Structure formats: C-alpha cells, structure tokens
Structure 1
Amino acid sequence: MLRYAPPDRLNISGSLQDGLDSAQIKIRQQQYGDNRIVEIPPTGWRDILRNTLRDPMLWFLLGTSALFLAVGELTEAIILLVALIPFLGMDAYLHRRTQASIAGLSDCLTAQTTVIRDGQPQRIAAAELVPGDLVLLGTGESCPADGLIEYAEDVLCDESLLTGEAFPVRKLAVAALPHQEHTAYIASASWLFAGTRLLKGNVRLRIVFTGVETLYGEIVHSAMLGTHTRTPLQSAVSNLVAILLAAAAVICLGLAWVRWEQGHGLLDALLSAVTLAVAALPEEFPVVLTFFLGVGVYRLAKRQALVRRAVVVENIGRVSCICSDKTGTLTEGRLQLSHRYPAQGFSEERLLEIAAMASRHETSDPVDLAILNSLETPLHDAVVESFPFTEDRKCEAAIIRSSDALLAVLKGAPEIVLAHCKLDGTALTGWQQRIDELAGSGHKVIACAWQTLDGASWHGGEPDRDFIFAGALAFEDPVREGVPGAVLLCRDAQIRIIMITGDHPATARAVAREIGLGGATPQVVTADEIQTQLVRGESDVLRNIDVIARAVPAQKLLLVQTLQNSGEIVAATGDGINDVPALQAADIGIAMGQRGTRSAREVAAIVLLDDNFHSIVQAIAEGRQLFTNLQLSFQYLLMIHLPLVLTAALIPLAGYPMLYLPIHIVWLELVIHPTALLVFQEIAGNKTLVYQPPTKQLRFFSRWQWFAMGLAGLTLTVIVTLAYIRSLGAGYDVDHARAMALVTLIAASVGITAVLSRMHSSAAWYIVSLTIGLSCLLVQIPALAGFLHLAPLHVDDWLLAIASGMIAAALTLLGRVNGLRIFRERQTQSQQHSD
C-alpha cells in the first residue's frame, strides 16, 4: 500500500544527517504547530461538578431539601442532601466512562524521544517534534509521529493499535526521500506511525506528519469531536423532550391544585408536583443518545472508519447500496507480476531483463516497480537514451549499451509493440488471442521487444520497426483479503454493490467474478452507455447493474443521485478532487485515508483508514448494532418510565397518600440511569448482516413495538397500583404500601432489563445483581427502611413482586418474539434473494 508524503515537508537545506538547525525548527514550529496528538480535556472535580450542575436532578435534590428544611423537616432535608453523594458518584463515573476510551489512548504515546538536531542527538519532549526532524528509535520504544524510515536494522513493528492485527510487521528503509510530486508515494513498509511500537531492531526516522495529521491523531480527534454535530435523531429527541416537559408541567400544576383542594396542605401539594415533575422528566433520552453516539464514533474508528460527523453513526446502518471504487478498495491497489510468457527462443529471465531495461529505475509507476522488484539481481547497463511512456504513444523505449553492444528495448501496450515487430500472420494471431484471454481474466498485459543496433549507423532517435518480439508479461491487482466474504455478507443482506472503475470491461468483469459480485455472470456496462440512458430518463437501467466500467469520477454524481431518487440509501467511495461532488451528495461519503486527497477527506462523512472495502461492511454492521442497542435502551426507558409517571400522578389524584417521596425518585433514578447507559451499549452483535428495507425516514420503532411498549407500561401501571392499594390495607400502612410498590417497579425493571439485554454483557449482570441486592437491603433492614419511609415486606409480598417482574419480562418477551419473527422473515428473504 502506498501513502503520500508531501515533498515540501522533507525539503531541508544543509546535511540531512545533521537534522534540523535551530532556525529551521522555529520556522516549522510556527508552520505546523506542536506534536500534540491527544489533548484530553481536563476531568477534575471542578469539571465533573460543572457537568453535574447542568443536570436537573441536582436542582431537584437541593430544592426539595430546602423545602423540607423550611417547614422544619430536618431529617428529610439531611437524607436528600446525603443522597447527593451516590448521585454525584454516579455522575462522576459516567463522565469518566465517556472519556475513558479517549484518555486511554494517550497511554500508548511516548512522552519523550531521541532526536538529532544541530548534528547532535538529544532527548526532547515528543510534543516538540516538527516535520523534518530526524528521530532515533530502538527496540521497545513507541513511535512519536508518522515518518519515513531512512535506516532500518532488522526491524519488526507492532501496529495492532492502528490495524487491530496482532502479527508483527517487517519494516524497510525507503530508497530515497521524495523531492518531486510524482515520486511522493511511498510503500507503507517504509512508514512508521504514531502509537506503534518497535518489537525489534533500530530505526532512523524522518518525521513527516505530526499532531492531528497523523493517523493516530485523526482517530483521537474524531472520537473527541465527532459527537458535536447535532444529528436528526438528536433533534427529534430534543423535540420529544420539549413536548414531554410541557405536558409534565401541565400535569404537575393540575396535581398540585387537586392535592390542595383535597385538603392535603401546601407541603404535600408542592412535593406531589415536584416529585411528579422529576419522575416525568425525560432527561435520560438526550443523555443516552449523546453517550451512544460517542461510543459509536469510537467503535467505528476501531473498525478503521474515521467518523467526521456524528450523523454517520445513525445512518451507516441503513445503507442499502454501496458505490465502490475497484482499485485500492476492492483490490490492494498495487500491481504484481503474475505471469511471464516468453516468445520462442527466449527464457523467462531474458524476457524480464528486457522489460527491466525498458523501465525507469527512479519511478513510482506501478508497472515499472513490479518489474524491477521481480529481478533477482539488479541491472547495471548504461542507458544511452530513453523515450518515455505517454498516453499517445502507449509504449516506452530505451537505447542500452550492454557488453559493448547497443540494444534497443521496447515495452508497452501489446497492440503497439506487436505493430513494431516482425511476426508472421500465424504467430501474430496466436499472440493476440493469448493477450485477449489474459485481459479478459483481469490481467494488465504489456508486450516486450528488442533489437541490436549498429552503433555506426545509429545517430539517435527512436527505432520504430524491425523489433524482435520477446514475449508478454501479465500483471494483476490482487483482491484484498476479506473482500469476497464482505461481498457475500452484503448479498445476503440485500445491500447492493456497484463497482465503479476506469478499467476495461473485461478486466472489471474478471475482478467482479473473483469477489463474487453478480455471481458467475456479473452485469457490466460502460459509464458512457449508462449515462446516455440516464440522461434519457431511463433510471431503471441501474436495477440489475453490477459493474460500471470505463467510468470517470465526474460520472459518479449522476449515478449517486439516480440511485437516491430510486429510494436507495447510498454510500459512495472516492479518493480524488473529482470525487468531491459525489461524496457530498451521497448519504454516506467515504474517502480513502491512505491514498485520498485532502479535499476528498474533508467533505466525506467517513475516512477509511485502511482503504479496504471489508472495513465499510464492518462499519455498516457496527452501525446497525449500535442503532439496535440504542433502540433497546430507549425501549427500557419508555417501558419503565410509563408506569413510574402514571402511578406518581394517578395515585395522589385518586386521593391516596403520595406514592413516591423525593428520596424514592432518587433511588429509582440510580437504578434507571446506569441501566439505560451501560447495560445496552455493551451488547455485541453477530457477524451476519440481515436484510433491512431501505427507508429515507428514520423510524425508531415499528407500530408493533409501540403497541407492545404501551401494553407493557399500562399493565405495569395497573400492577403497581394494585400492589400499593393491597398493601395499604384498611389501616393505611403507607410505609408498607410504598415499599411494595417500589419493589414491584424495581422487579419489573430487572425483568425488562434481563429480556432486552439477554444478559449478554457483564454490565447487565453487575447492575441487575446490584439492583436486587440493594433493594433487599434497603427494604428488609428496618433501620435503613425507616430512613426511606418504608417498611419491611413479607414473604408473600416478595412473591408477588417476583411475579410482577416475571409478568414484565413476559410482556417484554412478547415484543421480542415478534421482533424475532420479523428477523427470521428477513433472513428468509435474504436467502431467497441469494438463491
């Protein structure tokens, strides 16, 4: 894989071996800034307190405590103030949790490094490095920035932090630092990246990228800032919260007035209203959404998909069509010499030597590199004159002095080279057939020829006739590992893939067959043909197309817009400036991180760090799982909040004593908050993509899900109400009744959590176990129960509470069973589509 190295960063006056001098360092520090890859915002107690002050629960506790203090209820005021301790503790933990994945990344970076400046090695802070610095690294040291290896001594590197691969990677020194634009692409084997670690050997490294421009820095920067963009789902949740707040305010005022009219006194009326307001306050919804989006940005980055806008976390899972480049995305983006076909009288070695003599030794041309890398021993023949390759000539030639002989060598497009050679009709036809077969199987084919020149009669110029045909070389761009499997996953999930390439249709068809795109007979058309039909309004022509060949980037925009107009959610890949309009128009624009231009990366919603199609499919799977997890969290919140709010309002309105005191709301929030945030975000999905019908409108829940949640909420409301009234009894044992209602609601919370999470995460086990254990302690120990205005429950009470939890679990399972039925129907549709 090639990575671009800007020559201007390596354009250093003076001796390269002496490193930068003081004047150069000062100029580059002003130009590029510090090498600060990870700048974690401060997370001390002041910052935690500042975040907590934004939470209405804090003001509820303080305001209610002040209210109790004003009427002389000192014990109640103190209890509510003490309740701030676990509340602030939970806030601090969740705040730390959202920062943990980012802050943990800084531990992988080195704080100091050895650098050569002014001709002397010195130890400096890694943050002071600038592009052009010369760094010395030894075994066990971490790389402080991205750079090119000038010297390598038996080097093995651990790149698992960036790639996820545990296998060591061998590194080699670069042949020469780039000084011109066309020589600025360097193989990844000659790069060291920030955050990676040397397992073996010694390296002299020339720094190219620092700070957020490094691959590592881009991941961290995106994870820190990617959730700042307001997404459509965030806007929808904000609108929902505003509506619920308005409704809660009206109900609270009505409840306060009713309680006052019922003769319960001012304190009861105010407490009833405030308690209901906090119970109805839907602050968890925006908190959970923001938290999940942050988790999504980080998880997608670990899948090699760098998220630039948080909306991607919502949309990536809904993709129904992928318009993908071929070279570098579906394939490795590098040519390798795979077949040698020498003409009669030539050996494979001699054919390769002729091709090498006609190649440029200082070049970034992939064909020349593949030929030169295949040589067992380098050639040392003198080049007298060369005639470079151009698009018009489609061949290149050179005049070589070899062992006192003057040779003319030629390589290039087979039809051009054959036209320069002396071949009889039978031989010419045979070679043309072989070359056509190779091209049809996805190979790039060049032909080679040579002739001896008479030094006395040759006076310069390029020979154009009487060449002796030496044979043909076939090159292939290998398909990336994992791509066929990723294509199969997309096919099973009915996610369309359209390969868009500038290659010949025969080459594109061969690659499509190799990766399984379109089966045994992929449908291939040229871009000009499809464009003509689309301009005529024939948008249906794209329905069964697998490959669009001979395409230019400018034609991608029309293709993307046509697919969108037909109802597809389109992800499009690109790497050049000409790809920018298509990347902007696509629902998910995906730029190549290694070979993409800066313009493409800046407009894209996702930057693919490894340029691999398999990473796109992984990102779609991750996005779908994150959305599913968010749905589960919201289901839990709705199913538990509905009975909480309804019972908090209906029981006082019916004239009974208040069901929930402020301390009870605090207790319930300490159960609900961590459950919604931590249990569901850890649920991992399977490796299978299931068919999901494309829809432009994001439907968070189906009608059946809304019905199932409403049924469960209303049923639990009836159960909690009946449990309260039953336990109240003729003697109006309010403490016993409150304990029964609270335990019933908490048992329902446990049942709902167990079914929705299927106990597949460690957080589910911890939180469910802690919820049950604390409930038993707080209710059954008389001293603790007395502080909470509760009374210990009897055995039959606990049995009824357990039964209530089982009913809640059964109602939740009812919704899940229907969801599984839909899941199986989609699997069947996928299988039928595959067949």
Structure 2
Amino acid sequence: MHAKIPWERLEGLLGTDEGLSEAEAGLRRARHGRNDIVEAAPPTWWMLARDTLRDPMLWFLLGTAALFTWLGDRVEAVILLVAVVPLVGMDAYLHRRTQASTQGLASRLASSARVLRDGVWRTLPAGELVPGDLVELAAGEAIPADALVEAGDGMQVDESMLSGESLPVPKRPYRRGPEGAAPAHWVAAGTRLLAGTARLRIACTGAETLYGEIVRLAVQGTQARTPLQQAITRLVGTLLVVALAICVLLAGIRLAQGHGLVDALLSAVTLAVAALPEEFPVVFTFFLGAGVYRLARRQALVRRAVAVENIGRISCICSDKTGTMTEGRLALVHRQPATGGDGEALARLAGRACRADSGDPLDAAILALGGPQGADAPLRVHPFTEARRRETLVWADGPDAAVAVTKGAPETVLALCAMPDAERAEWRARVAGHADAGHKVIAVASRALPSFEAGAGEPDAGFAFAGLLVFADPLRPGVREAARACAEAGIRVLMVTGDHPGTARAIAREAGLGSGDPRVATMADLGPGDEALAEVDVVARAVPAQKLELVQRLQRQGEIVAVTGDGVNDAPALQAADIGIAMGGSGSQSSREVAAIVLLDDNFRTIVGAIAEGRQLFRNLQSSFAYLLMVHLPLVLSAAIVPLAGQPLLYLPIHIVWLELLIHPTALLVFQDPPPEGRMAPAGHGRRASFFGRREWAVILLAGLAVTVAVLLAYGSGVASGDEVRARTLALATLVLASTAITAILSRLASRTARVIALGSLASLVFLVQEPALAGWLHLQPLALRDWAIVSAGALASASPALLFAAHARRGGRLHPAAAPSRRLR
C-alpha cells in the first residue's frame, strides 16, 4: 500500500522483539517530527474572525448603521447591527463546512497506542510514536501510523477509508528481505484492525503517512491560485471599477434631481454592495476545495490545484498497460499437460524447476501453485540465461537415481524432448495461439538420470515433455467498464506499452479498446506525421522516452492529454502533459514530484473516476455561476434604474442584507451534485474550451433581463396605486420568488440541501412580509392574495428561460472553464 518503505529507519530492528529506548525515541522524534497526521488547526474563532473581517458585507452593515446613527435614525441602525448576527452565523457555518472534511479524516485516527519503550509495554499518545517503535494492537483498534507487520495471527484490516475496498483485507507477518515486501505485510494509519492481533514496526509517521498526505493535500490544494481563479480576480476587479463609476454617476444624478446628500450617498453605497461580485471567488474557492477532497476520496491525490480545473476537460488518456490497466502480476490461466498427465502434477513438476530465492516473479507464481518443495536442496542448478532460455534443476530421486527438471521457452524445451515431429508441430501451434492471445507460455519437461550423471553438465536431450503452463497479467476489475465510459463520454484511450504487439492487442481487446477491435502500431509504424496517430488505439514496443513525443503530437491535434507514468524516464512526458498522473504505489519519487495527480491504487479505473468527478465539479460550478448571474443582473439593474428614474430607493441596506443571506448559501451549497453512476458528463473538446458558450450567455442574459422586467413591472403596479411601500414589497417578493424558481430549475431540487434552502427562502419571504411587525421594520407591508398571485405569475414566467439553460447543460453543453492551458500542468 505504501509507495516506498524507508528500510534505513528499521535497520537492526526487523525480526527482533526489541523496542526503542526513550533516548532513541527522542532523537528520532527530533529528526522525523511528531506523529501528528492531522496538524492542529489554528483556533477556529480566530480563523472565523479573520474571514469575516474580509467580508465587504460586514463593513457595509457597520458603515450604514453608523450613517443612520449619525442621522438619528437609531431603529434602522439597530436593525442593521442585528443583521450582523445571521451574517456571522452563515460565515461560521460555511467555515465549519470547509473544515469538516479534515476533521472527518482526523476522527478515524488512533488517539493512543501500546508501545514497547525501555523494555516495558506502555500506553502512549499516538502523537508520541516514532519510526522504529514496536506497537501491539488488538481487534477493533485503529492503526496509529504506517508500519510493517512483525507478528500477528488472524489479521483482518479495514482499509476502506484509503482503498475503497469494502471487504476486510488479510495481513500476514513480514518474513523476507526488502525485495520481498508486499502490501499484505503493510498497514497504514487511518485503517483499523478488525480481527486478530498484530505487532507492528512503525516506519512512517505524521505527514509522511499515506493518510497524512491525503489530509495535507486536501487542505493545501485549496490554497494555490489557479488560472481560472486569477481570471475571476481580474473579472471582479473590472466589475468593481464599473460599479464604482455607476455609483458615482447615480450619486450625481440623485443630487441633480434634488435629493439630499444622504440619499445620494446611501443610493451609491447600496448599489455598490448589490453590484459587488464577491460571491464568484468565494464560490470558486469553495468548489475547488471540495474537488480536491472528493478526488482524494477517489484515490487521486491532487498535488496542484490547477488539476481540478483541467481534469474534467481531458479528451485523451495515454495509459500504461502493466500495473495500470492490468494487475501487474502473473497469474496462471491455462494448464495443458501432455497426454496421460494432469494439471496438478504438471504444476508440482514445474515447481521443481524453480528457486524460491531467484527473485523471478514467474518462479514465485509457479511455487505458489505447487507449494513448498521440501527442505532438501537440489543437487545442481543450471540457472536461466538468455542464451539457453531455460532453467534446469537436478534433484535426488532415491539412493541411486536423480531427476532433471527443466522449464523455459517452449521452442527450446520442445527441442530437448523426444517426440514425433507431428506432435512437436501440434504443440508449437498451441504455443503460437497462446502467444497471439498475449499470454506468456513456458514448457516443462523432465528426465530421469542415474546418480553418477547428477553432478555432470546440464542434460541437453532425452527429456520427456510434461506440458505447458500459460500465464497472463490479468486485466484489473472495472477497466473494461471504465474504458466503455470513456468511449461514451468522447474520451480517447491510447494504451502505451513496451510489450509485443500481439500481447498489447490481446489486452486492449479484453479492455474493449477500439470497440473490441483495437488498432495496434509501433512508433516506427506511425512515422513522423500526426495523421496515422489518430487511427491508433495501442502503441506497442514503446519506450518511456517516446511518451513525450506522443504527448506533443496529440496536443498538436488539439487534445487535452492526461498521461500516466511511474519511472524516472516518464518525467518529461508527465511535465508536458496537461495532466500528469503518477503511480503512487509503484511510481518513482521523481515521477510523483512532477505529476499533478498521484494515484493511490495505480488503477486505470481511478483515472476515469477522477475525470468523471472533475466534469461533474464544473457542471456544478457552471450552474452556481449561472444562478449568480441570473439573480445579480436583475438586482443591480433594478437597484440602478428605479432611483435613476427619480423614484425613491428600491432597495434599502437591510434588503440587500436579506437578499445576500439567501444568495450566498444557495450558490455555495445547492449545486454540489455527485457524478451520476455508470456514466460521465459529456464535455466540449479543444484546447480553448470556454466556461460559457454563446448560447449559455444568451440564456443567462435573457433570464436576467426577464426577471428585471418582472421586478420593474411589479414595482410599477405598486407605484400606480400611489403606495411606495407596497411597490417595494411587490418588487422584492418578485425577485426572491424568481431566485427560488431559478434555484429549483437549475438544481432540480435533487438534493436535500437544495430543498431545504429553497423552502427556507420561501419561508423567509412569507414570514418577513406577512408578519406586520417585521414587515414594518423592513419598510415593507403584508400583501393581499391578489398581490401574491401577481408576484408568483411574474416570478415564474421570468424564471422560465432558466429551463433552456438547464436543458442545454443536461444535453452536454459546454461545461468547462477557460483555463486554456498555455501554462500546462506539471
């Protein structure tokens, strides 16, 4: 599970029952730090105060309250000061939401651990653990740090938090050298021992743990400024200049119309706050943080926040085969014994041609089939070489006899065996069929020897053919479904492998690439032009250095390219790709450092899941921004048009506060849909995809103008009756109802949060308007049933253009931001 085990920290400790002394632990703590996997956050009250003080709405409330106090209108001043309470309350709630993911992760960690120090077992806070500590766990206890299993019995570990695996994972004690460490020997912080007992040797603590890296990236990923964030900042700056100019113009016109200085100042300030687009950067930052966390839950660690912007725009994935689309191990798929033999005997015989200490994964796979070969050592070993292409072991077979067992390339072994030519040709045809299917085939044979020949050279004839063992690197579960999802979403998958074209074609066919009939080529076949590359599903016989050329050629064709890599030689391609994806389990340190995303499980399915999450994230962000534009446009236009026409102020400061208290939580919390199961949101391709297309902008403007007309008509009907307060109430009610209708249309009220906020908006409208005391404080008045009918009809009719936007988005309209990566992800 861990990418790299720091063996030097465990030197002299593995395989012993020794713990550390307090002095040694202190030295190691000074070198590696405390085991604080989730660092203590600054005081919540201070962070809340800091964020609240940055909110311009707070200063608007305090400033206008001071203005009304100076004018002697203390009731209005008190109302504005009271409005600070829900504002701070909302900030506190949203602040809590941004901290919830980290705190949720922290709740899964161990608070204490039983550790051996100075030869005595004692219970210490988990933060005191250091690399090298020996820890004991009982069933039900959380694992306090990343560690190797030294001893244990019946161990079953819940790894669902890190791997997503719902079933318990068995673990076993570590018994071999560094080259033999396996995930079954490793446990990680954030997981839990469900059954059995375990004794662990701590290897990584604090931020170095896999769990610590998830937490750190989930928090830090929200801090880096991205191209879209910078563009939003420039947009906000531009709008602020425009708003300031309009406010100055409005103040001048109000003075010219004969209104007093206070009216002119209040008109300008109110319009400025209504026009202030502070929600856009707030919403984007909030969604970006949610994206980092949600991708981490999908086993994709985001090392650069800009990846969250671009991952949903990926149009081509250059994926490794081994370990990414396949499991990266050899598994037996066929046993074909010779006539008169059986598969079990064939596997046991092949095990006698293997060495447990060879380090060859093929030997390990065969020995796992045949079981242990006993305590006796072979009489003679003739190891595999490229020249001989076989390995032969000679074993004693009674007091006066021996047996030589050989395994290797079928053509080599068949040449050693005595058999009719027709039979040999038949076996060679079988071998060719398996090779065409992408399988690795070995042949097994044996020969009885008299004891005096056992110490002689390697026998080279007279063997009895035993049969074939056929191995393959199995396709990972879910890869075929993930490749189908890519095809349906318009994402091209290009498998890049160093394997033989036949092997590559077999795996690609099994994965469903090329609709089951993949087109395979080598780099030599492709030639220098880019045209041939467009027709290829698999590039075989590729070396890592050629990945960079592939990425550049695909980008010249306009593709947004994600590339996977795990070696040092992959670093240039990872840097050049729009999204570089490193393997967290098998990847090198250099590949992880240059990649934008690190996969915890090295699984192709995880890449596709991350793309689906990214696409849905920006579908959500687009809906949120569309809502803000559709609601803010009529708010600003009506706030400016009414006073410019010489009428009294339409919105007073307290009304702006009320509207913002409805708009903020709607934009932040309503549009947070997860990606739909089984399919991926479509996306527009091209390196210059824009956030909104012309059609979307047209619909947004149409909706905003329609709501503006409805608000002004409602206000006009009130003015015609000679009642200024009724006119203001009708206009505000129309705007709030239209905002709620737009929320319902864009969100489809699919989530509980959307339903609660929509109902809350309606409840606040009815309560604040129909309750006479509250309405009087807000300079409003209760409405008659006829008035509500007029307001409802106008609001629903004006919000209807939002239906066009929602329908277009669901049909796969342009959903992604103008990150136009001239500056690519590294």
Over 3 Å counting, the alpha-carbon distance change for 1:22 and 1:240 in structure 2 is same
Matches within 5 A, 1:9-408: 9-12=9-12, 16-176=16-176, 178-179=177-178, 183-186=179-182, 188-344=183-339, 346-391=341-386, 393-404=388-399, 405-408=401-404
Over 3 Å counting, the alpha-carbon distance change for 1:270 and 1:105 in structure 2 is same
- 1:108 match: secondary structure: coil
Q: Would you say the 8 A contact 1:652–1:658 is kept in 2?
A: yes
- 1:155 match: secondary structure: strand
Over 3 Å counting, the alpha-carbon distance change for 1:684 and 1:417 in structure 2 is closer
Shift of 1:14: 8.8
Over 3 Å counting, the alpha-carbon distance change for 1:107 and 1:579 in structure 2 is same
* CA distance in structure 2 between the partners assigned to 1:42 and 1:402 by the alignment: 73
RMSD of the alignment, in Å? 2.2
* CA distance in structure 1 between the partners assigned to 2:272 and 2:549 by the alignment: 52
- 2:412 match: secondary structure: helix
- Name the structure 2 match of 1:736: 726
Q: Would you say the 8 A contact 2:300–2:606 is kept in 1?
A: yes
Matches within 5 A, 1:617-632: 617-632=608-623
Specify the code of the residue in structure 2 equivalent to 1:166. Answer: S
User: Which of these residues, 639, 646, 654, is aligned with residue 663 of structure 1?
Assistant: 654
Question: Cα deviations across residues 366-411 of structure 1 (Å, max 9, x unaligned)?
Answer: 2111111112454333134434445555433334345444443332
Q: Would you say the 8 A contact 1:323–1:572 is kept in 2?
A: yes
Select between 390-399 and 28-37 the one with higher mean Cα deviation.
390-399
Shift of 1:43: 4.6
Over 3 Å counting, the alpha-carbon distance change for 1:438 and 1:173 in structure 2 is same
Select between 666-675 and 188-197 the one with higher mean Cα deviation.
188-197
* CA distance in structure 2 between the partners assigned to 1:196 and 1:813 by the alignment: 46
Shift of 1:21: 3.4
Q: Would you say the 8 A contact 2:394–2:402 is kept in 1?
A: yes
* CA distance in structure 1 between the partners assigned to 2:211 and 2:65 by the alignment: 48
Shift of 1:471: 2.5
- 2:749 match: secondary structure: coil
- Name the structure 1 match of 2:743: 753
- Name the structure 2 match of 1:791: 781
User: Which of these residues, 679, 682, 686, is aligned with residue 688 of structure 1?
Assistant: 679
Counterpart check, 1:491 vs 2:487: yes
Question: Cα deviations across residues 302-330 of structure 1 (Å, max 9, x unaligned)?
Answer: 11111111111111111111111111111
Q: Would you say the 8 A contact 1:408–1:453 is kept in 2?
A: yes
Q: Would you say the 8 A contact 1:395–1:410 is kept in 2?
A: yes
Counterpart check, 1:766 vs 2:756: yes
Specify the code of the residue in structure 1 equivalent to 2:546. Answer: Q
* CA distance in structure 2 between the partners assigned to 1:81 and 1:60 by the alignment: 11
Over 3 Å counting, the alpha-carbon distance change for 1:814 and 1:494 in structure 2 is closer
Matches within 5 A, 1:593-742: 593-682=584-673, 684-729=675-720, 731=722, 733-742=723-732
Question: Cα deviations across residues 653-681 of structure 1 (Å, max 9, x unaligned)?
Answer: 11100111111111100000000000012
* CA distance in structure 2 between the partners assigned to 1:392 and 1:575 by the alignment: 30
Shift of 1:423: 4.7
- Report the TM-score, using the length of structure 2 for normalisation: 0.94
- Name the structure 2 match of 1:437: 433
The number of aligned residues is: 813
Shift of 1:823: 6.2
Shift of 1:299: 0.9
Counterpart check, 1:817 vs 2:807: yes
- 2:301 match: secondary structure: strand
Q: Would you say the 8 A contact 1:683–1:761 is kept in 2?
A: no
**5+ long unaligned stretches in structure 1:** 825-835
Over 3 Å counting, the alpha-carbon distance change for 1:539 and 1:36 in structure 2 is same
Specify the code of the residue in structure 2 equivalent to 1:805. Answer: A
Shift of 1:136: 0.9
- Name the structure 2 match of 1:589: 580
Specify the code of the residue in structure 2 equivalent to 1:794. Answer: A
Identity in percent:
55
- 1:631 match: secondary structure: helix
Question: Cα deviations across residues 501-538 of structure 1 (Å, max 9, x unaligned)?
Answer: 122211211111112112342111224433xx03xxx1
Select between 599-608 and 468-477 the one with higher mean Cα deviation.
468-477
Select between 430-439 and 676-685 the one with higher mean Cα deviation.
676-685
Q: Would you say the 8 A contact 1:147–1:207 is kept in 2?
A: yes
* CA distance in structure 2 between the partners assigned to 1:344 and 1:431 by the alignment: 12
- Name the structure 2 match of 1:470: 466
Shift of 1:66: 1.5
Shift of 1:114: 1.0
Q: Would you say the 8 A contact 1:747–1:804 is kept in 2?
A: no
Counterpart check, 1:410 vs 2:406: yes
Q: Would you say the 8 A contact 1:83–1:663 is kept in 2?
A: yes
* CA distance in structure 2 between the partners assigned to 1:493 and 1:106 by the alignment: 36
* CA distance in structure 1 between the partners assigned to 2:193 and 2:308 by the alignment: 34
**5+ long unaligned stretches in structure 2:** 815-826
Over 3 Å counting, the alpha-carbon distance change for 1:818 and 1:627 in structure 2 is closer
Over 3 Å counting, the alpha-carbon distance change for 1:159 and 1:808 in structure 2 is farther
* CA distance in structure 1 between the partners assigned to 2:749 and 2:161 by the alignment: 29
* CA distance in structure 2 between the partners assigned to 1:424 and 1:16 by the alignment: 58
Select between 812-821 and 461-470 the one with higher mean Cα deviation.
461-470
Question: Cα deviations across residues 759-808 of structure 1 (Å, max 9, x unaligned)?
Answer: 00111111111111111111111111111111222222211111122113
- Report the TM-score, using the length of structure 1 for normalisation: 0.93
Counterpart check, 1:523 vs 2:519: yes
- Name the structure 2 match of 1:804: 794
- 2:535 match: secondary structure: coil
Shift of 1:298: 0.9
Q: Would you say the 8 A contact 1:752–1:808 is kept in 2?
A: no
Q: Would you say the 8 A contact 2:394–2:454 is kept in 1?
A: no
- 1:332 match: secondary structure: coil
Q: Would you say the 8 A contact 2:445–2:465 is kept in 1?
A: yes
Over 3 Å counting, the alpha-carbon distance change for 1:358 and 1:5 in structure 2 is farther
Specify the code of the residue in structure 2 equivalent to 1:792. Answer: P
Q: Would you say the 8 A contact 2:612–2:675 is kept in 1?
A: no
- Name the structure 2 match of 1:832: none
- Name the structure 2 match of 1:779: 769
